[in-house]
Structure 1
Amino acid sequence: MKTIQYYFSPKSPWTYLGHERLIGLARQHGALIEPKPADLARIFPLSGGLPLNKRPPQRQAYRLTELKRWSHYLDLPLNVQPRFFPVDETDAAKMIASVIKAGDSDGALKLSGAVLRAVWAEERDIADTATLIQIANDCGLDGAALHAGREAGAGLYEQYTNEAIELQVFGAPWYVYRGESFWGQDRLEFLERALAAD
């Protein structure tokens, strides 16, 4: 079975821009996606990366330009400066990991997409308990139970973060197929070529 390991941050705009396209690619090529939410706050310092607010002004400005460009190109709604960003993604990531732990990768991908849309298209606060519960409910999950039991996913979230560090991941989204890494939603075309070659 073709398997794509998918390391991501549930608050990353680049992950948002690539999420549904990745799912479509996997479906088209009969591939399985293994979603792996990872903590970029731990990963960035190890790779020389900087949090957004510590990057030089010219880099911050160009990031906004690129986000607008990609949003327009993909015809995906995206507020480049959302009301609730930066935001603590920890609870959202643990909830996603809990769904994965329960054996529901499709549910985890659906929840991940909904969380990403909440930040970048819907002006919702994914650090807010009621918001997270509602998002999960809308995905057909038991939001209250999932939020209450989110620590069940904490170990997996840490495991995925450690895996990412071991793989020398330094950004999100990050796709791994047959041991080859692809960084960024703008590398999905190369991932597709690799899938097609098989």
Structure 2
Amino acid sequence: MAHIDYYFATISPFTYLCGTRPEQIAKAHGATLTYKPLDIMQLFGRTGGVPPKDRHPNRQEYRLQDMRRRAAMTGQPMNLKPAFWPTNGAPASFAIIAAQTAGGDVAKLVANITKACWADDKDIAQDEVIRACLVEAGFDADLADKNMLTSAETFGANLEEGINAGVFGAPFFVTDDGERFWGEDRLADLDAHLAGKI
């Protein structure tokens, strides 16, 4: 059985645009999927990346165009300049880690949290927003407060594991045979790889 490690950031627009497709692709191929939220700004700093606000204007403008086009291609609403971005992605990440441990629809939770930021203009660092996303995905709202120390440790470990696996952006998918796929626009390639086509 194939396995996919899904490295992502709760504040990433391209993670939002993935929706629940990573889970759907994994299920279609009988693969397992582990959600590994990480601190994208630390990842950039350690792998040669630059936060969007510090990029050359040409790169910033292209990013916004690309986000607009990808949102249109995926049929998802998107605010290119959300009211609460950037924000602290750690609290929502801790909730996702706790949810994965508890078991349930983690794909829906990730989609809810990223949509809250990129389509609903909500601050995903706020407890009430995280709790609402948990409930909407079928989890207990109190999960946001459980095992926070363990979740924080896992969040930090995800960064180290990601760097060791060759991750430098988000979303980023690493299969158990060492293939790496960076970006929402590479989901079709991940699908093709799992199907044995590439």
* TM beyond 0.5: yes
The match for 2:135 among 110, 134, 137 is 137
Summarize the alignment of residues 104-119 of structure 1 with structure 2, pairs less than 5 Å apart.
Answer: 104=103, 106-119=104-117
In the alignment, which residue of structure 2 is the partner of 1:65? 65
* Shift, 1:149, TM fit: 4.0
Is residue 96–residue 110 contact of structure 2 (8 Å, CA) maintained in 1? Answer: yes
CA distance in 2, matches of 1:118, 1:149: 23
CA displacement 1:112-139 (0-9 Å, x = unmatched): 1110111111111101111111111222
What RMSD in Å do the two structures reach over aligned CA positions? 1.6
Aligned to 1:197: 196
Alignment-derived partner of residue 184 in structure 2: 185
Question: Quick one: which amino acid aligns to residue 166 of structure 1?
Answer: N
Aligned to 2:11: 11
Counterpart CA distance in 2 for 1:86 and 1:153 is 21
1:101–1:153 CA contact under 8 A, matched in 2: no
CA contact (8 A) 1:101 1:156 kept: no
Quote the offset at 1:146 in angstroms: 2.3
Identity %: 35
Which secondary structure state, in structure 2, belongs to the residue aligned with residue 182 of structure 1?
A: strand
Distance apart, 1:169 and its partner CA: 0.9
Counterpart-to-counterpart distance in 1, 2:105 and 2:191: 23
- Letter of the aligned partner of 1:120 in structure 2? W
Runs of 5+ consecutive residues of structure 2 not aligned to the other structure:
none
TM-score, scaled to structure 1: 0.92
- CA separation in 2, counterparts of 1:151 and 1:117? 26
The aligned runs of 1:171-182 (5 Å cut-off) are 171-177=169-175, 178-182=177-181
What SS does the aligned partner of 2:14 have?
helix
**1:2 alignment counterpart:** 2
Q: d(CA) in 1 for partners of 2:100 and 2:74? A: 28
Shift of 1:148: 5.1
> Matched residues in 2 for 1:81 and 1:132: separation?
20
SS at match of 2:20: helix
How many residues in Structure 1 have an aligned counterpart in Structure 2?
196
Alpha-carbon deviation of 1:8?
0.5
With structure 2 as the length reference, what TM-score do the two structures score? 0.92
